[in-house]
């Protein structure tokens, strides 16, 4: 085995932001609840005799995501019970989907190639365990059921991902699509989006999948995902080079030390005793329902970017910094055509808006935005020589940023521009200044 | 006559006419409870404030009359244990749909009745609080699992009662106690707030003194429930309206009498006679042969039904009882009784990867076989309006009969299991009486999905034409 090839598949959980929970009418707002256990009822507490009623909106959103990810939709779907014991799971089983998920056979593009999506299914989140020491010194475990029963989707890929950077790009693209559809906030800090990667390594020429896999869990940022996978690839390579096989297990990631560590050995597949939940009748997704859902599907992100490129010469890398949801996209569409009518160059307007980083852009009147822009873009007169001097000074004082730029970190230019503006104490034209900076650096 | 002996219908009438008062009824009810409950062990808990509650319900259709409720229905104000020590002292924070609807219509839950623990059984002998005795003859069992509810009615400790049936748990104790028990179509009455046993089978229903009483109760508890996704949106009829329509020109098929275990029993004789009575009332009656295989015009015997039922029900039981994990509720898992442990272990097995029929989960395979029963009944109901059979192969069995026989319930319920698996409705009415033991046999009248009206009409006609109902003096 001289040449190694990482084989990576991802499982990503995302909490949907429907108004109510997955199987009851309780408010779905676990992160901002003022107190524990206030958004609860017999159903999400798993009380005796309580029965689940599936949230139609959550089903529609799952299918919507499936359509956005080029999935096929099962015309007949159902919920299944997945059994395991844990104190935050009050029924002793989680309502999930086993063999008939709502969506299957899709893909998401990355710059390294397509990542096939095996399935997207819908399930319920668990409660949250809190381990703490009381003022009395007693150690206790407390359960907060505000999160119990929150709709949770799981997006599972085929093992198509070949590198840590591709995994990161896949996760970021997925995040972008979900945020764009406005079906989840994907708050990774709080656990609203959870990343898991299954990693193994095979020989380049080997067609078969390796006979082991390591599951990486508890990663709460795209950056850590990349780092953790990179670490894991190196670790496994080392083991394989010694002629051994890495242990099949679940590993966590320690960001401080930048290492992965063993959490749980997984020798056999767990027996969750899945069976169709008799409390929830099977769900038929009719042609007409599906076409209703399709109608709510916004213009695809890639189409948006290429349309804007064509109409306004906007670069995807820049304009994507400006918005996340399709509602915001619609706002921009209106703003851009308004700007065009006002004979404002949209490309410049976008640059201006990206740098301004206005928080309430989407609540601002469009005419006001354009007026502000016009004011700001009347750049104060600055002697070109004087400007050159200022730039030289800034470059001298910010050697690291210059170096970064030379290494290919193009965003360093934004930082340098900011420093120049600070020094000049006046508004400046970004394009003009960045062109000068580039000239002076090279 | 003591007022606790009134039927629901009669009590409503007399209260309407103000010929009697709630005070008098409750006085007689509490008197018999104080005399007999200790011996018969019918009630696990009793609401001592029920009379006060009743008085505020006078204007409602059920007039504040006392109704006994099986202890697996969650009720605010009275403990709910399903006769298991695991739930000892559990006070529910919410009300089951059935008891909520009863209360909204003027019913008062006078007490919670004993049952087989978690409804696992057909005798009440698996109750963690001891068996209930048959009020008709205390040397005998009342049947189960709704044995307490059937006994409450038979002993006049309630005007009517509520039970639940997974396979036979309403009809069999009704048969043994000489009362009327109606198992509605699956999905006709909400399961919300009923401690789940076999979720794909559980059907709550009334246990009453007369057929008309069953119709009255069904009127108030049936119907779509936004909290139970398996309830039907079909409109609820007024089941009392056409109750006297009779059976003229109905086609009735008699089932299971050729089965070796039934042939030559008194139960078979009684059902044959019932067939004659229906014929005299104008119905067209014939015998349906049993078959071990799915065959047109024949009824599938119970052999597969027992296997299918055991796999499906145990699987669901193991899942439904997982929530009693020792973290919540009264007592930990060591308080599960022998029967519950048996069922959990078997159920865990039927759902596990270890239990596969070729590539298929045994539970899923069993569901497919279950569908054969659905097809069988569909075929038969395309030719017959009603099917009749004995409810139970025998009279009530003596106390202690069930110990050491884990399949006791299944053998007891073999005649009702196929219809439970199919989810159709059925009603048991007394159809024979043994003077020597004071015990009864029941006639099981089965109808197609949502044909509650038709089975009630037939049961009513039978009750009118015979003399087996101890509350109707002719």
Smallest Cβ–Cβ distance between A85 and the set B226, B316, B325 belongs to B325
For the cut 90, the answer to whether the pLDDT of residue A360 exceeds it is: no
For the cut 60, the answer to whether the pLDDT of residue A428 exceeds it is: yes
Nearest CA in chain A to B197: A49
Weakly modelled stretches of chain B, pLDDT under 50: none
Question: Between chain A and chain B, how many beta carbons pairs sit less than 8 Å apart?
Answer: 93
Q: What sign has the CA pseudo-torsion A324, A330, A333, A339?
A: negative
What are the Cα distances from residue B415, in Å, to B169, B171, B401, B446, B459?
Answer: 12, 10, 19, 11, 18
Nearest CA in chain B to A81: B319
Q: DSSP 3-state assignment of B438?
A: coil
Report whether B212 contacts B243 (CB < 8 A): yes
Cβ of residue B125 closer than 8 Å to a chain A Cβ: no
How many other C-beta atoms are found inside a 10 Å radius of the C-beta of residue B436?
A: 6
Specify the pLDDT at position A269: 65
CB contact under 8 A, A49 and B315: no
Comparing CA positions, the residue from B137, A423, B85 lying closest to residue A415 is A423
- Annotated active-site residue B9? The verdict is no
Specify the pLDDT at position A1: 46
- How does pLDDT run across A186-202, given as a tens digit for each residue? 999 999 999 999 999 99
Smallest Cβ–Cβ distance between B194 and the set A49, A90, A271 belongs to A49
Q: Write out the DSSP string of B144-190.
A: SSTHHHHHHHHTTSSSEEEEEESSSTTHHHHHHHTSEEEEPPTTTB-
Nearest CA in chain A to B187: A279
Paired tokens of A242: 């010694």
- How does pLDDT run across B353-362, given as a tens digit for each residue? 888 777 788 9
From A91's Cα to the closest Cα of chain B, the distance in A is: 4
Specify the pLDDT at position A207: 82
Q: Is the peptide bond before B145 cis (omega within 30 degrees of 0)?
A: yes
CA distance A178 to A170: 12
Cβ of residue B359 closer than 8 Å to a chain A Cβ: no
For the cut 80, the answer to whether the pLDDT of residue A429 exceeds it is: no
Smallest Cβ–Cβ distance between B200 and the set A93, A273, A278 belongs to A278
Backbone dihedral angles phi then psi of residue B401, each to the nearest 5 degrees: -65, -25
Q: State the first-to-last Cα distance of chain A, in angstroms, to the nearest integer.
A: 44
- Residues 6 or more apart whose Cβ sits within 8 Å of residue B47: B53, B77, B78, B108, B109, B110, B111
Specify the pLDDT at position A309: 94
Specify the pLDDT at position B330: 83
CA distance A322 to A358: 9
Smallest Cβ–Cβ distance between A49 and the set B193, B315, B364 belongs to B193
Report whether B221 contacts B206 (CB < 8 A): yes
Nearest CA in chain B to A141: B327
Specify the pLDDT at position A290: 98
CB contact under 8 A, A85 and B322: yes
From B91's Cα to the closest Cα of chain A, the distance in A is: 11
Report whether A329 contacts A298 (CB < 8 A): yes
More confident residue, A208 or A90: A90
Smallest Cβ–Cβ distance between A278 and the set B73, B199, B352 belongs to B199
- Residues 6 or more apart whose Cβ sits within 8 Å of residue B234: B188, B224, B450
Catalytic residue (choose from B169, B175, B203, B419)? B169
B96 interaction partners in chain A (CB closer than 8 Å): 49
Cβ of residue B196 closer than 8 Å to a chain A Cβ: yes
**A100 CA to centre of own chain:** 25
CB contact under 8 A, B323 and A92: yes
Nearest CA in chain B to A46: B323
Specify the pLDDT at position A382: 67
What are the Cα distances from residue B324, in Å, to B317, B321, B466?
Answer: 12, 6, 47
Smallest Cβ–Cβ distance between B229 and the set A48, A274, A281 belongs to A281
Specify the pLDDT at position B382: 97
Alpha helices for A98-163 (secondary structure H): none
Nearest CA in chain B to A86: B325
How many other C-beta atoms are found inside a 10 Å radius of the C-beta of residue A62?
A: 29
Cβ of residue B96 closer than 8 Å to a chain A Cβ: yes
How many other C-beta atoms are found inside a 10 Å radius of the C-beta of residue B225?
A: 22
CB contact under 8 A, B353 and A278: no
Catalytic residue (choose from B123, B145, B290, B419)? B145
For the cut 70, the answer to whether the pLDDT of residue A68 exceeds it is: yes
- Annotated active-site residue B232? The verdict is no
Instruction: Tell me the pLDDT band of A331, cut-offs 50, 70 and 90.
Output: very high
CA distance B226 to B115: 28
For the cut 80, the answer to whether the pLDDT of residue A383 exceeds it is: no
Specify the pLDDT at position B360: 84
Smallest Cβ–Cβ distance between B353 and the set A48, A87, A271 belongs to A271
What ipTM was reported for this prediction?
Answer: 0.95
- How does pLDDT run across B450-473, given as a tens digit for each residue? 999 999 999 999 999 999 999 998
For an interface test with A, give the residue of B71, B309, B325, B346 to mutate (most A CBs within 10 A). B325
Instruction: Tell me the pLDDT band of A379, cut-offs 50, 70 and 90.
Output: low
The upper half-sphere exposure of residue A181, i.e. CA atoms within 13 Å in the direction of its Cβ, equals 29
Report whether B278 contacts B313 (CB < 8 A): no
Cβ of residue B283 closer than 8 Å to a chain A Cβ: no
CA distance A346 to A352: 10
- Annotated active-site residue B145? The verdict is yes
B364 interaction partners in chain A (CB closer than 8 Å): 275-276
* Backbone dihedral region for residue A357 (phi beyond 0: left; psi -120 to 50: alpha; all else: beta): left
Cβ of residue B315 closer than 8 Å to a chain A Cβ: yes
Paired tokens of A30: 């676990």
Cβ of residue B299 closer than 8 Å to a chain A Cβ: no
B323 interaction partners in chain A (CB closer than 8 Å): 46, 48, 90-92
For an interface test with A, give the residue of B186, B190, B192 to mutate (most A CBs within 10 A). B192
- How does pLDDT run across A135-171, given as a tens digit for each residue? 999 999 999 999 999 999 999 999 999 999 999 999 9
pLDDT mean across residues, chain A: 92
CA distance A14 to A171: 11
DSSP state of B446: E
- Looking at the DSSP bridge assignments, the partners of residue A82 are A94
The H or E element that residue A377 is part of is helix A366-377
Catalytic residue (choose from B63, B70, B112, B454)? B70
């Amino acid at each position: 085995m001289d040449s190694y090839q990482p084989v990576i598949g991802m499982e990503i959980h995302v909490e949907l932001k429907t108004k109510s929970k997955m199987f009851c009418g309780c408010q779905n707002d676990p992160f901002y609840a003022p107190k524990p256990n206030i958004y609860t009822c017999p159903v999400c507490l798993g009380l005796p005799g309580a029965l689940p009623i599936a949230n139609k909106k959550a089903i529609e959103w799952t299918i919507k995501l499936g359509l956005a990810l080029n999935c096929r939709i099962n015309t007949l779907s159902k919920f299944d019970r997945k059994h395991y014991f844990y104190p935050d799971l009050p029924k002793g089983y989680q309502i999930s989907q086993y063999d008939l998920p709502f969506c299957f056979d899709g893909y998401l593009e990355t710059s390294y190639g397509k990542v096939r999506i095996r399935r997207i299914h819908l399930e319920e989140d668990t409660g949250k365990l809190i381990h703490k020491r009381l003022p009395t010194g007693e150690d206790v475990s407390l359960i907060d059921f505000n999160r119990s029963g929150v709709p949770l989707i799981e997006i599972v890929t085929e093992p198509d991902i070949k590198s840590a950077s591709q995994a990161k790009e896949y996760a970021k693209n997925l995040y972008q699509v979900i945020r764009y559809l406005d079906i989840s906030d994907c708050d990774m800090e709080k656990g609203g989006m959870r990343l898991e990667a299954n990693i193994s390594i095979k020989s380049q020429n080997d067609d078969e999948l390796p006979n082991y896999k390591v599951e990486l869990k508890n990663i709460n940022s795209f950056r850590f995902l990349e780092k953790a996978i990179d670490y894991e690839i190196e670790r496994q390579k080392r083991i394989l080079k010694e002629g051994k096989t890495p242990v099949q297990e679940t590993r966590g990631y320690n960001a401080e030390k930048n290492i992965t560590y063993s959490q749980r050995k997984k020798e056999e597949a767990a027996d969750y005793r899945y069976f169709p939940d008799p409390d929830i009748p099977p769900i038929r997704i009719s042609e007409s329902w599906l076409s209703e859902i399709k109608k709510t599907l916004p213009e695809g992100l890639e189409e948006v970017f290429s349309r804007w490129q064509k109409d306004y010469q906007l670069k995807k890398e820049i304009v994507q910094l400006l918005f996340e949801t399709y509602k915001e996209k619609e706002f921009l569409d209106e703003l851009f055509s308004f700007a065009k009518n006002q004979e404002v160059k949209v490309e410049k307007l976008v640059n201006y808006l990206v740098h301004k980083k206005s928080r309430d852009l989407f609540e601002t009147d469009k005419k006001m935005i354009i007026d502000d822009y016009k004011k700001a873009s009347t750049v104060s007169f600055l002697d070109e020589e004087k400007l050159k001097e200022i730039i030289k000074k800034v470059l001298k004082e910010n050697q690291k940023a210059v170096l970064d730029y030379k290494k290919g970190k193009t965003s360093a230019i934004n930082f340098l521009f900011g420093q120049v503006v600070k020094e000049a104490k006046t508004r400046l034209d970004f394009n003009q200044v960045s062109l000068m900076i580039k000239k002076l650096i090279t | 006559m003591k007022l606790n002996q009134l039927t629901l219908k009669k009590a409503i009438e007399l209260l309407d006419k103000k010929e009697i008062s709630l005070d008098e009824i409750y006085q007689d009810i509490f008197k018999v409870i104080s005399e007999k409950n200790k011996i018969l062990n019918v009630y696990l808990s009793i609401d001592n404030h029920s009379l006060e509650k009743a008085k505020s319900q006078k204007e409602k259709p059920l007039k504040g009359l006392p109704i006994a409720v099986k202890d697996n229905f969650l009720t605010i104000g009275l403990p709910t244990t399903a006769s298991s020590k695991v739930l000892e002292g559990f006070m529910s924070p919410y009300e089951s749909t059935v008891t909520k609807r009863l209360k909204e219509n003027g019913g008062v839950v006078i007490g919670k009745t004993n049952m087989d623990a978690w409804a696992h059984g057909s005798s009440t002998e698996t109750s963690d609080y001891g068996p209930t005795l048959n009020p008709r003859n205390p040397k005998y069992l009342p049947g189960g699992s709704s044995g307490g509810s059937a006994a409450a009615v038979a002993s006049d400790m309630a005007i009517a009662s509520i039970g639940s049936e997974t396979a036979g748990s309403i009809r069999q104790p009704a048969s043994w106690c000489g009362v009327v028990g109606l198992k509605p179509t699956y999905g006709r009455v909400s399961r919300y707030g009923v401690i789940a046993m076999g979720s794909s089978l559980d059907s709550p229903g009334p246990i009453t003194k007369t057929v008309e009483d069953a119709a009255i109760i069904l009127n108030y508890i049936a119907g779509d429930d936004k909290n139970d996704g398996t309830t039907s949106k079909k409109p609820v009829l007024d089941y009392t309206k056409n109750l006297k329509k009779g059976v003229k020109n109905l086609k009735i098929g008699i089932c299971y009498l050729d089965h070796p275990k039934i042939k030559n029993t008194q139960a078979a004789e009684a059902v044959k006679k019932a067939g004659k009575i229906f014929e005299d009332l104008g119905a067209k009656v014939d015998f349906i042969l049993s078959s071990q295989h799915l065959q047109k015009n024949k009824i599938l015997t119970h052999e597969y039904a027992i296997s299918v039922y055991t796999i499906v029900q145990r699987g669901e039981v193991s899942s439904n009882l997982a929530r009693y994990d020792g973290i919540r509720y009264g007592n930990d898992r060591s308080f599960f009784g022998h029967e519950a442990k048996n069922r959990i272990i078997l159920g865990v097995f039927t759902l596990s990867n270890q239990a596969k029929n070729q590539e298929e989960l045994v539970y899923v395979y069993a569901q497919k076989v279950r569908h054969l029963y659905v097809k069988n009944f569909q075929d038969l109901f395309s030719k017959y309006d009603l099917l009749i059979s004995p409810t139970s192969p025998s009279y009530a069995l003596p106390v202690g009969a069930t110990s050491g026989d884990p399949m006791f319930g299944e053998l007891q319920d073999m005649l009702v299991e196929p219809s439970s698996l199919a989810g159709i409705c059925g009603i048991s009415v007394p159809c024979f009486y043994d003077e020597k033991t004071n015990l009864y046999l029941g006639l099981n009248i089965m109808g197609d999905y949502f044909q509650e009206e038709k089975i009630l009409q037939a049961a009513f006609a039978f009750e009118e034409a015979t003399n087996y109902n101890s509350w109707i003096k002719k």
